A and B are shown apart, each in its own frame.
Chain A
């Protein structure tokens, strides 16, 4: 119920007053007119002669572009940001600019390249498989079961994420090498030697990549509504059925993201692979290792392989963009 005719004065908003009891109208005001007065506003009821002091920007203020939110960018941020962008994108640009585009098909067909590619795919997908098989149950336990030492276990299994990969490789040698803690037993009991084998390369990649899967899936499991699992239980579903038909579908996005991250990391692993598995063409020479080697004598092949890996990285980034960078 606003006064007809005049628009609302600056600072005052017309509001329909809801009364809970019939009775005499409020004293001191017109019947039916409700006006909410915002604290601090003036009680004038006419339009101002000149605009309010806060409505016009001070002289010499920065251009509109930077003052969208009402406050400008802190001094110097813009040039620093530009430097950051240049620094991070220049190497990628250089890769694209200096790529021997005409020789690309030939370079790709070179024998070593395809072998490295095939090996990379085999090892990285194997690493993904192992990570899923062992990582998902662990993620579930970390998210759901309050066992003593849980925080410590979580910190330990996430350590390979921040550990320098070469260090990881050395540690793997000491664990699984021929004289390693577990390795000597593997050798004696089964005759299995892991270092400098394809399985070893797969293991090295799993070591560095599994934590990415674990952390993403654990977050996904924590974030899901557990009441759906309660509902499933009341519908006669045991733990395994509940996990298969309710939990997994609900964490599918987190699982996919974790899997993509894990695979990409495994694909790009260099330090642990070369230390533990060596650089044997056809056996353990995955793409990153091949690039390293090719740099010395066949730069074209090195760049080609780099481009392939760049394309894969971009694909992963694009695929996960809605998860990492939700648009507002």
Chain B
């Protein structure tokens, strides 16, 4: 059970160059900002987009090899796809939709329907078997799409933003259901998402794609501990800076330097991470212990539960997390200049 995919292609402004090797079953989550190439990569695996260079091998069988002139058409590949809009055939009932794969594989109509019913039972939707897709709710449609993809017994299951169309309320429950189904699936899964919670909970492994390239890959814990790109840092709600290590400080690209407490690597590129909770804001220059103090201007304020995230712009933009009381007493919603203070001990540094 292995996937060895090297995908190189150009599509419009996207230049995709991705290498993905999965040696065991489980769920790989593909993460990244819009237009990073996630869907294109998925479609390339499915055979819906031709490779320009690279090679896709699934369980030892070559699916795509432009150099050797080999290209297995989509319908012969042992894959299943859950599309972003589900794409349930509107003119067929739910049962006929799910039975479509088995029938196309050669099963007789009765046998195909039996298999379809079994799948529908697994997702708990036998009672809507005779309905047309337009009568289904979003959550039901998603489960039917999953059942339809699984009915062909694929080796590789590809899901493109399976929960994107859900509203927040339904999403949590569906995510749990999806997690269960993916865990029960004997093959490999590749899930595309832009939701951090989905990524962290569904994935055994995370692969972060940005502008057609892999910027980071690892377990959710590894990513949380050491984000390597602004996208991941933003996802986790962290402040991330890149710079050069120099004795007890990190020199950033714009010339500013951060004083850090822990020893830094001798020299070379490093990342510095500051949690928004470690950032203090002052209206007057603070005379105190924090080693890193600089001036900025307060911009947007986001309320998240009982905390407020303040976006501070200036020479060194940063996000600070404070209380609503602090916002009130400092009149932060009026904007204006503030001083940012970060203790050296709160800055984590690791190799880039």
Contacts and interface: CB of A to CB of B under 8 A. Distances in A.
Interface of A: 20-24, 225, 227-228, 230-238, 241, 245-246, 249-250
B124 interface: no
A21 B211 CA distance: 34
B83 A227 contact: yes
A85 to B, nearest CB: 40
Contacts of A21: 301-303, 308, 324, 327, 332-333
Nearest to A19: B333
Contacts of B100: 232, 235, 237, 245
B75 A24 contact: no
A246 B152 CA distance: 18
B81 interface: yes
Nearest to A237: B104
A227 B331 contact: no
Nearest to B96: A245
Given A236-B75, A241-B104, A227 B87 contact: yes
A226 to B, nearest CB: 10
Interface residues of B, number: 37
Interface in B58-81: 73-77, 79-81
Interface string B127-139: 0000000000000
Contacts of A233: 47-48, 73-75
B104 A232 contact: yes
A234 B80 contact: yes
Given A20-B302, A22-B303, A236 B104 contact: yes
A249 B91 contact: yes
Interface in B76-94: 76-77, 79-81, 83, 85, 87, 89-91
B104 A23 contact: no
Contacts of B302: 20-21
27 contacts: A20-B303, A21-B302, A21-B308, A21-B333, A24-B328, A225-B87, A227-B83, A230-B43, A230-B48, A230-B83, A230-B87, A231-B81, A231-B89, A232-B89, A233-B75, A234-B74, A234-B75, A234-B77, A235-B80, A235-B104, A235-B148, A235-B149, A236-B76, A236-B101, A236-B152, A237-B100, A245-B104
Given A21-B327, A228-B89, A235 B152 contact: yes
B303 A228 contact: no
Contacts of A228: 87, 89
Nearest to A233: B74
A250 B91 contact: yes
Most buried by A among B83, B104, B105: B104
A236 B105 contact: yes
B46 interface: yes
Nearest to B300: A20
Nearest to B73: A233
A254 B89 CA distance: 18
A225 B90 CA distance: 11
Contacts of B105: 236
A22 B75 contact: no
A249 B89 CA distance: 10
A246 B104 CA distance: 12
A17 to B, nearest CB: 13
B152 to A, nearest CB: 6
Contact of A235 (B47, B90, B101): B101
Contact of A23 (B77, B81, B91, B331): B331
Contacts of A234: 46, 48, 74-75, 77, 79-81, 149
B123 to A, nearest CB: 16
Nearest to A230: B48
A245 B96 CA distance: 11
A231 B83 CA distance: 8
B328 A22 contact: yes
A22 B332 CA distance: 10
B89 A246 contact: yes
Contacts of B332: 21, 23
A225 B74 CA distance: 18
A22 B303 CA distance: 8
A90 B303 CA distance: 72
Nearest to A234: B81
7 A-B pairs with the lowest CB-CB distances in the bound complex, closest first: A21-B301, A233-B74, A235-B101, A23-B333, A237-B104, A234-B81, A231-B87
A227 B81 CA distance: 12
Contacts of A232: 89, 100, 104
B305 to A, nearest CB: 13
A23 B322 CA distance: 13
Contacts of B301: 20-21
Contacts of B152: 235-236
A236 B301 CA distance: 51
B150 to A, nearest CB: 11
B125 to A, nearest CB: 18
